[in-house]
Amino acid sequence: MEQFMTPEFWVAVGQIIMIDILLGGDNAVVIALACRKLPAKQRTQGIIYGTAGAIVLRVILIFFALTLLAIPFLKIVGALLLVWIGVKLLVPEHEDEHAKIQASDRLWAAVKTVIVADLVMSVDNVIAIAGAAQGAGEAHQMPLVIFGLLVSIPIIVWGSQLVIKLMDRFPSIITAGAMLLGWIAGTMLLSDPALVNPEIWPQLPKLAQTDALKYSFGVGGAVLVYLLGRLLQRRASPG
């Protein structure tokens, strides 16, 4: 029980909740679109079943992601993907992906649509959540992931409109979230087995896992995401 009272655990919980809100905001839109043609009595069922199925599927995906991150060099690849995801968050695409979501007037068809759409959209969430969970220690990574998801799902599903309005009013929330992904990317890269374990690829230099180096890599990743995002924003803006 003491493991769950450490600052690292609660920092990771906060990171997972913020990641889910920022990267999972589309989930509520997908659920609404997929269930909009259901009869009123079945609409709540469709939302509940679809959300439950999406949560279970995401936990399974994160379990595999946590296992795969123990393979040398995959954390480095994951870190690079997180930097890209963070930059993409600062430079949103204009295409309306939600136009592809098909509504159904049958309950289980709508539930299937929600789950499949969530699977397609959850790759970035899975990588980011797995990276955040790494910071809490191996002993309780999966309980941490499940707890973080359970806390954040009601916020996403029922509070998405409020969150979206807050992000529109305070763009700094999105910037902070993107930089958080950069922070996680930096600390994830530092802890890759190929850069830590002297028995794996001994020809590579090994990095000391000190707090100072961890914070340096985290800050470096956050700053990198911010600078790349601003650069691409300027290039994308007319004139």
Query: What pLDDT is stored for residue 95 in this prediction?
Result: 46
Using DSSP's 3-state secondary structure scheme, residue 238 falls into coil
What angle, 0 to 180 degrees and rounded to 10, lies between the N-to-C axes of helices 172-190 and 123-134? 60
- Is residue 235 in a domain? no
- Is residue 190 in a domain? yes
Contact call for residues 160 and 28 (beta carbons, < 8 A): yes
- Is residue 238 in a domain? no
Each residue's pLDDT, cut to its tens digit, for the chain (239 residues) gives 555 567 777 788 788 877 777 766 566 666 666 777 778 778 778 777 877 787 788 788 878 877 777 788 888 888 888 888 888 878 865 545 555 555 566 777 877 777 776 666 666 677 777 878 776 665 567 777 777 777 766 666 665 556 656 777 888 888 888 898 899 889 888 888 888 888 887 888 888 888 899 899 999 999 999 999 999 888 877 65
* pTM, full prediction: 0.71
Alpha carbon distance 103, 204 (integer Å): 52
* DSSP annotation of 2: G
- Give, rounded to a whole angstrom, the gap between the first and last alpha carbons of the chain: 57
- Is residue 149 in a domain? yes
Nearest of 133, 120, 113, 3 to residue 64 by alpha carbon: 133
- Is residue 234 in a domain? no
Q: Based on the structure, what is the number of domains in the chain? A: 1
Query: What pLDDT is stored for residue 47 in this prediction?
Result: 75
- Is residue 239 in a domain? no
- Is residue 237 in a domain? no
* DSSP annotation of 124: H
Q: Find the domain containing 91 and state its range.
A: 2-228
- Is residue 120 in a domain? yes
User: From residue 131, how far is each of 17, 62, 69, 185, 218 by CA, in Å?
Assistant: 13, 10, 9, 7, 12
